Structure 1
Amino acid sequence: MDNRNYGSGFIRTILQQFFLIAAVLCLYTADYLHSYSMQKTYIFLAIAIINLIMTFVMMGFLAKSVSSFHGLSKVGADIMFVVLTAVVYFTLDLVFPLDQNYMLADRLIIVGVVAYLLDSLFLIVFSSITTRMRTNTLIQSCVLYKLVTLIQKNLFEHTMFTRALRGLISWMAGIAGVIVFLKSNQVWGLVLLALSIFIELYYSLRKAYEEKVIRKAILQITQGDLNSTLDAQSFHGEQKQTAEAVNHIRDGLDNAVQKGIKNERMKADLITNVSHDLKTPLTSIINYVNILKEKIPETEDTWQYLMILDEKSQRLKTLLEDLLEVSRLTSGTVKYEMNQIDFLELIYEIGGEYDERFEKRGLIIVTKLPRLSMMIKADGRQLCRAIENLYTNAAKYAKMDTHVNVELRRDGDLAVFSIRNVMAQPIQFTVEGASDLTERFVRGDRSRTTEGSGLGLSITKEIVTQMGGTFEVFVEEDVYNATISFKIS
């Protein structure tokens, strides 16, 4: 296939040169006959026109098949065009006009040889240019284009040196323009001044715009938006480097977030699987304990052992249920049935269920509740679970024979529920560390002498935030205060 293309290209080249040389010879002959007032000039002109047409036809075929000569791809297209023009000009200047002593036949031979040589040089340039046109690299291969790009890249980029150099050149051009206009009263002096001002204004505005885009992207990153990226190729100089750095930071943060999400899912899956595996044998233990309790133990010690076994198995059951609940909440599989509920009525119902537990520890509930209802939009069952966790914490960790303050108030458009008590064992937290109580497996009783899994506040926080509310814990010395806020509907 390559040999066939090469052969057809060679034949087209020969035909193009033949038609061109014939056209040149006919034109020269017609001019020669016309200068001596001879007839049949129009015949040679007609033949020349026909040959020129055929020459252009052959060039059209060659444009589709010829390829650049080896080594010429590194030479700029504009350089080749300048060299070709110079060679044609100097060749014609040296050869023509021919001496009058030459006969017509001698002149035709000289003209034909010169036409052949110049056409061969033209075909070399023509093949290189057409090849670059087919590959869309004609402009990029020009030396002038590379020079302009180099100047733009090194002179007009936003580096400190190039900015200073560009400013110096602009100011010098502006001053020169003013001097020319004042002394010679020529308009092009003002044009030079306006051009220098325009260049500086353009690059200053471009720099300001690029910095604005970068600042906006950084602000989006600080707000957690890691989806959009900057097109670094559209920036220049130092701004381009900054844009690339911002993209790298965004990619790094996105990878870290994705890795964190993956780890959280793995933890949730592990908790779920382990909890399910432990739940089955635990259920058997609880059932057998219940069976043994139905029978009268032989001794008091046996009954005491059964009570301890029952208490610990129930505690372990509660822990597994909390683990499963945390896993469901963090994995996003919990579906909330959002309805209009009366926040005040819900607190009354829950508070009545804990009166007995509070009385056992000498705790007195002091309530401060409004007279009118407060309607909020939430899942009643899930919100009840969250508030029960707060009451349970107060029943476990509040100092005996103290007050537990329960309050529901309106704060603007928010309904704020709070429960406050004095702790039996003050927590040694800093103000910043108080928020650690809402993390998983964190307990106020660091000695773990009391019951609890360290998941209650974490579950409460997940439930409240997923329903659109706010949950906060404040610890100041020995006073513990937890609040739940929802927007009043």
Structure 2
Amino acid sequence: MKKLRSQFQGLYWRQLSLTVGMVTLTLFLLGTSFFSLSYNYAKNQKSEELLTKARMMGQLSVSYLENGRYMDMEDLQSDPDFRQLASFAATVSDVHFMICDKEGHVLLTTDKNLEGRVVTMPESMTEEIMKKGSTSRRDDLDGLYESKRFVVGVPAVSPETQETVGVVYGVSTTDSLDSMWQGFIGLFFMTAFVVLMISFMASSVTTMRQVQPIRDMVKATRRYAEGDFDIRMYDYGRKDEIGELAASFNTMAESLQQTERQRREFIANISHELKTPMTTIAGYTDGILDGTIPPENERQYLQIISDESRRLSRLVRRMLDVSQLQAIDPLKGGNHFDICESMRRVLVSMEKKITDRNLDVDADIPDEPILVLGDNDLITQVIYNLLENATKFAREGSTLYLGVTTLDGKARVTVRNVGDTISAEELPLLFERFHKSDKSRSEDKDGVGLGLYIVKTILEQHKEKINVTSENGVTTFTFSLTTE
């Protein structure tokens, strides 16, 4: 029951109810307005028609009413000529006429149902005719008729003296107007029913097309919450907002899937990297404590424990550096700095390591400043990591190259060394987390595999890229920065 109620309270039923309700309200307002206008128009037309016929009858009656020629109903009805004239006019115009004196007493009527009866028209109508020149209304004439009829009245005015000598009333049934109204009502309800059915079906189909993708997205979101990122949305072949939303949803799913994969790889890698030094530290410590390692060898193994502890500390520190780098925006401030000065500072700080490896340096750094957009400290870290990496893997006694050039609004920094050639299969892996080259290529055993990953992360934060090539023992790293 709750599920059924929830479905009826869903977006589909709300949208459908809103559409059908708006169509129903529109039909009601249009029907009411049209009926009111058409009814009033027909009523006015009927009244004007009756008034015209009553005025014609009034003109015909003037000569019989003026000078008090007929004093009562019997006098007027006894005149065969006038009686015949009135009957003919009533038959032709389909209107019953009542010829009255100025007080409203009926002297002659063409309605056979009223013949022989003494009839006096309502005083209010007679007064209105005398004051306004005419009257028009739907009335039963104080119970004279069983139902209301159209009644109009005009004065009979002498063309010579302009004196009112009597009053002429025209009476007509409302059958034609009622028939028109009933026909309109029937046609309106039939049309409204057809329009409602069409709108219901069209709205149902349209609303379902709008709601179904949203329902699918809700199901997909629940799957994502459960950790399943393999599900994808159909685009339904639509180019509207729903199609764009479905495409964005799939892009988000791919991003989440990649993030989840990277998270798992990161956890696996960090577990492996932490396990090795911790196992070494724990093993040698237990060996010293339980006497397995002789006292004369304790200093040697304590040195190993110290080295592994420092390597573990460097690993944790580098991991924190990566986490902090991913949370900053180095381009937000729009600051510029001199890349040449940063390169000189790195060379000075690396002097001892370069000297220990008996390396020469070919520095191609212009004296004039080259201003680039970015964070000075972070780019300095990039240059330092690249130059340190080149120093580690350079052949002893060879030459390192550090230079910068400008082209097409970019400053291109190059770091090059001479050593062993890196295979084409390994080149794409150099910037991955915890990736370390074959240890036989380097005398350095203390790397944690995060130096080049930090380089790539910093440059990605600057919306820049880094390229690497390795041929015939020459390995070259090149990255670019936007100049001023």
Q: Shorter-chain-normalised TM-score: which range?
A: 0.3 to 0.5
Q: Which has the higher contact order (CA 8 A, sep 6+)?
A: 2
| TM-score after normalising by structure 2 | 0.47
Report the structure number with the largest CA radius of gyration: 2
| TM-score after normalising by structure 1 | 0.47
The answer to which structure has the higher helix fraction is 1
